[in-house]
Structure 1
Amino acid sequence: MSRQNEENRKKHSKKINEKRLREQRSESDRKAKLKLILQNLIPIRMSPNCYCGNPIPFSDCCEPYIKGIKAAPTAEALMRSRYSAYAVHAIEYLLKTTHISQRKYHSKKDIEQWATTNQWVKLEVLKATEKTVEFKAYFLDAQLQPQVHHEKSTFKQQNGHWFYVDGKFY
């Protein structure tokens, strides 16, 4: 009986060790993936440039629009400031700069979840006209998987202020 118990104990111990090894490998793989992602993000995160990609500091670029100090002068400037607003979680600004006719389709809770769940990496403006901006927003989702949001947004100017109306997603 004791020999049987000893064999069972060894089998159990072996299973536990195998499980620990799998968990360690999984954790090691996760850490390696995260390290690679972070290595690619560090130059962006440490950049003195604005989140929107303009080569000037956030405090001189999008922040004055987000804080209401200045109005975005163009549709592209508004779109860039909205991207920055997602990056800094300025939810009220995102709601305020959505055209009044469209606000009922956007909940504060959903916008906040989208903004805070993702890590905003880079904005690429593909084409801008007076009232439209086509762009790609690069981000990491909650599982740290790289994603691209490709959109052609439409904007409307009223009383000297630009507003986001809608977008076509690709």
Structure 2
Amino acid sequence: MSRRTSRPRGPAAARITSASPCPCGLPAAYGECCGRFHSGSAAAPTCEALMRSRYAAFAARDAAYLLRTWHPGTRPPGVDFDPGTRWTGLDILDTTEGSAFHSTGTVTFRAHYTDDGRPDSLHEQSRFVRHEGAWVYTTAVFAD
């Protein structure tokens, strides 16, 4: 997900706590799921786990994590969050490679959101590589 904008509007995102359901959609609390990746206490072991944690970082507005997990060759100087956007759900549609035994992988997903209250979605195939031993996001192709 590479959504960037700086136009101020709409209400702020709901605060995500360690006990909140994880925004990535897995049946775990945020602190036990993607929150541990965001805090740096664990690293995402697969491309899918990294994709889910990056989606959760968009929901939590954690720019530092997004930048830390972006390949240095494609990383932007910063991430701006649109205050009118609320991420509402993630569907993983397909994965290729991306396990502990691979050096590359892709995740195709549909990320649901509302933009100033209007529902919409982003359909994308994200590409990941191992960089210095960790999975990082490189590029994406929009599927719609």
1:125 matched to 2:98: no
Q: Is there any run of 5+ residues in structure 2 with no aligned partner, and where?
A: 1-18, 99-104
Determine the structure 2 residue equivalent to 1:158.
Answer: 131
Deviation sequence 1:63-103 (CA, Å, 0-9, x none)? 01011111100011000000000011100110111001001
Deviation sequence 1:20-78 (CA, Å, 0-9, x none)? xxxxxxxxxxxxxxxxxxxxxxxxxxx95310000111110000101111110001100
SS of the residue corresponding to residue 112 of structure 1 reads coil
Q: Is there any run of 5+ residues in structure 1 with no aligned partner, and where?
A: 1-46
Q: Percent identity over the alignment?
A: 38
Deviation sequence 1:95-123 (CA, Å, 0-9, x none)? 111001001xx242xx3224x43101000
TM-score by length of 2: 0.77
From the two aligned structures, give the one with the greater strand fraction.
2
Q: Look at both structures and tell me which one has the larger radius of gyration over its CA atoms.
A: 1
Name segments (4+ residues, structure 1) moved above 2 Å.
Answer: 111-114
The one of the two structures with greater contact order (alpha-carbon pairs below 8 A, sep at least 6) is 2
CA contact 2:71–2:131 (8 Å) conserved in 1: no
Counterparts in 2 of 1:107 and 1:117: CA distance versus 1, 3 Å: farther
1:1-170 to structure 2, matched below 5 A, reads 49-103=21-75, 106-108=76-78, 111-114=79-82, 116-129=83-96, 130=98, 131-141=105-115, 143-170=116-143
C-alpha deviation, 1:145, in angstroms: 0.8
**RMSD, matched Cα:** 1.5
From the two aligned structures, give the one with the greater helix fraction.
1
